[in-house]
Amino acid sequence: MLTADEIERYARHIVLREVGGPGQAALKRARVLVIGAGGLGAPALLYLAAAGVGTLGVVDDDKVSLSNLQRQVIHGTPDVGAAKAESAAAAIRRLNPHVTINTHALRLTAANALDLIGQYDIVTDGSDNFATRYLVSDACYFARRILVTAAVGTFDGSLTTIRAHERGRDGRPNPSYRCLFPESPAPGSIPACAEAGILGALTGVIGSMMALEVIREIVGFGEGLVGRLLMVDARAMRFETVAYGWDSKNPLNGERPTIVDLSSHV
């Protein structure tokens, strides 16, 4: 049930036919885990909290640095040196006291991923490296959890939703992250943010879209991004969507899977 204060707070949601009272109540019941409180996780956390997601978990073992503040808008100058998970939690509490925030100031590993992810309904991954992305996507498959995952480059970003543990309307398995990206790029082939740079506002756009996709998954309206990769080109202000499908040879949920647990992740 929504309190009188919550009804007023979420009034602009509740008047939407696609959301309404039932949709807002679903948001209140939802438990969402956000991987990373950085450029993508920062706006995603803020908008999920503002939307009234009942429980938010944030995973990040890093500390706030001055160079983060150009894009990681959940943190402020006084937070430099503080743990990102705690800084993010403090901002969320100021924004919406109705949200329960769980901090996980740790690095996600094969040893803790399943237990942690299993505590939530939906996972949104804004991590900045492929090793974590593959770990999160594999763990979500084994934990049977929905994954909204995004990435950004210097002037480009992408977003998709993975429900690889389910089948589509045609009866075929939904594609996994490994159907979209079969192999991780070679180490060093993609320069890190500190080397290549990144447009700060771009992370705000993609992170906000992550939150929007999570909200759509919870409430259940519109056409989701399962089997579709949304790509954003900030130089040309161009948005494109590319369809992708299940690869029967993929090692996770293919016809002959070779990945049966998380033991391959070190």
Strands 122-125 and 146-152: parallel
Is the full-model pTM beyond 0.85? yes
| CATH tag for 4-154+181-224 (out of 3.30.70.3040, 3.90.480.20, 1.20.58.340, 3.40.50.720) | 3.40.50.720
Which two three-digit tokens encode residue 138? 């594999």
What's the number of CA atoms in the CB half-sphere (13 Å) around residue 9?
A: 18
pLDDT tens digits for 109-145? 999 999 999 999 999 999 988 999 999 999 999 999 9
Cβ-in-10-Å burial (0-12, 13-18, 19+) of 71 comes to: buried
| 189 has pLDDT over 70 | no
Give catalytic status of residue 193 as yes or no: yes
Query: Which of 83, 114, 193, 234 is the catalytic position?
Result: 193
Is the Cβ–Cβ distance between 221 and 236 less than 8 Å?
Answer: no
pLDDT tens digits for 197-242? 899 999 999 999 999 999 999 999 999 999 999 999 999 999 999 9
Q: Taking the domains of the chain in order of start, what are their residue ranges?
A: 4-154+181-224
> In this structure, how many other beta carbons lie within 10 angstroms of the beta carbon of residue 171?
6
